[in-house]
Amino acid sequence: MSIRYLAQELYRSERKVEQLEKDLAALGTQPSTARVKLEADLLLARKARDHYKALLEAKKSPPPWRTGFHS
């Protein structure tokens, strides 16, 4: 996967997390089935966001064996 693709997916994931957090805040603190579903969706969205963030960071940093020569 290219860095550009990972960055785009990370951006989409962050927007989705933000939207779900707003929707969850709008429901308030009352327990409901909609709230449970939003919390589950938010958990999955955060997991996807963290996954793309880790992939992007791994792509950006060079492997440890390619950091240069040390004397």
Tell me the torsion sign for CA atoms 47, 49, 51, 54.
negative
Instruction: Say how far residue 45 (Cα) sits from the centre of its chain.
Output: 6
Reported pTM: 0.78
Asked whether residue 15 is domain-assigned, the answer is yes
Asked whether residue 24 is domain-assigned, the answer is yes
Residue with tokens 């969706």: 41
Please name which of 5, 8, 14, 7 lies closest in space to residue 46, comparing C-alpha atoms.
14
Number of domains into which the chain is organized: 1
pLDDT digits over 15-56, tens only?
A: 999 999 999 999 888 888 989 999 999 999 999 999 999 999
Asked whether residue 8 is domain-assigned, the answer is yes
Domain holding 37, by residue range, is: 3-59
Please name which of 27, 45, 48 lies closest in space to residue 36, comparing C-alpha atoms.
27
Asked whether residue 27 is domain-assigned, the answer is yes
